[in-house]
C-alpha cells in the first residue's frame, strides 16, 4: 500500500425522469397523484471521493462525472483519466465495488499500465463501507427528492447543485467517511 497516496472511493449511480418520491400529502382518503413526463432515458453519475492517507489537512476532494446512459469499461477509463488529472498524477488507491466493468480484462490491462493507480475492491454486499453511497443518498434525499423534471437536463442540473452543495461544505465529505466507520488517520498516543 502506498503511504503518501490518496485513498479514493468510487461509485456510480443513475438518474432518470422517474421522481425520487420522499414525502407527500393529501387529505385523508385521497391518494396523491404526481403528474410528470416519463421516458426511459437515463443518465449515469460517477463520483470519486478522496482522502489523503498521510495528511488530513489536505482535506477531502470530490471529482464528479455525469453522462447520458450508463458506464462501461471505456467510459470508466475516461473518468479515471479525468481523476488522474484531478489528482495531478499523485498516487491514488482507488476503492470500488465489484461491478463487472471495474474488473474487466480491458480495465485490468489499462490499470496495469498506470503507475499512479492501485485498484482495491470493496467486500461484496458492503455498500455501507463506501462514502460515495452516502453522497448519493444526500443528493437523492434533498436535491432530487420529489423532483418531477420535464427533461433529463432538469434532473442533471439538480444533481449538480447537490454536488456543489456537498463540495462547499466543510463537514459533509468528512461525515460520509466517518459514517462508514473507516479510520485512516489513527490518533497518535499521547505521552
Per-residue model confidence as pLDDT tens digits over 35-60: 777 777 889 999 999 999 888 888 89
Assessment of whether the complete model's pTM goes beyond 0.95: no
pLDDT of residue 139 exceeding 70: yes
Taking residues 163-170, what's their average pLDDT?
A: 93
What contacts 155, CB < 8 A, 6 or more positions away? 15, 16, 17, 43, 144, 147, 149
**Residue 106 grid coordinates:** 480491458
Integer Cα distance of 47 and 66 in angstroms: 9
Number of separate domains in the chain = 1
φ/ψ of 121, rounded to 5, equals: -105, 135
Among 39-43, 125-129, 136-140, 173-177, the range scoring the smallest mean pLDDT is: 39-43
Residue numbers of the domain that contains 116: 6-14+40-180
> Is position 29 within any domain?
no
DSSP-derived pairing of the beta strands 92-96 and 6-16: parallel
Q: Is residue 52 part of a domain?
A: yes
In a domain, 21, yes or no: no
Q: How far apart are CA 103 and CA 177, in angstroms?
A: 24
* C-alpha span between 105 and 173 (Å, rounded): 32
Q: What is the CATH number of the domain that holds 120?
A: 3.30.420.10
Terminal Cα-to-Cα distance of the chain (whole angstroms): 28
Provide, rounded to the nearest whole percent, the portion of the chain with pLDDT above 70. Answer: 95
Amino acid at each position: 500500500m502506498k503511504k503518501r497516496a490518496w485513498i479514493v472511493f468510487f461509485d456510480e449511480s443513475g438518474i432518470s425522469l422517474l421522481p425520487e418520491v420522499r414525502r407527500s400529502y393529501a387529505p385523508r382518503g385521497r391518494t396523491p397523484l404526481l403528474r410528470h413526463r416519463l421516458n426511459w432515458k437515463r443518465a449515469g453519475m460517477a463520483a470519486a471521493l478522496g482522502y489523503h492517507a498521510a495528511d488530513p489537512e489536505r482535506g477531502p476532494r470530490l471529482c464528479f462525472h455525469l453522462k447520458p446512459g450508463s458506464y462501461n469499461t471505456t467510459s470508466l477509463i475516461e473518468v479515471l483519466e479525468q481523476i488522474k488529472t484531478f489528482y495531478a498524477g499523485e498516487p491514488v488507491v482507488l476503492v470500488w465495488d465489484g461491478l463487472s466493468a471495474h474488473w474487466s480484462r480491458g480495465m485490468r490491462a489499462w490499470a496495469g499500465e498506470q503507475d499512479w493507480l492501485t485498484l482495491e475492491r470493496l467486500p461484496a454486499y458492503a455498500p455501507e463501507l463506501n462514502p460515495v453511497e452516502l453522497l448519493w443518498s444526500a443528493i437523492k434525499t434533498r436535491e432530487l427528492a420529489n423532483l418531477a423534471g420535464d427533461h433529463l437536463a432538469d434532473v442533471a442540473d439538480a444533481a449538480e447543485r447537490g454536488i456543489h452543495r456537498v463540495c462547499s461544505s466543510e463537514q459533509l465529505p468528512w461525515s460520509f467517511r466517518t459514517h462508514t466507520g473507516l479510520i485512516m488517520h489513527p490518533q497518535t498516543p499521547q505521552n
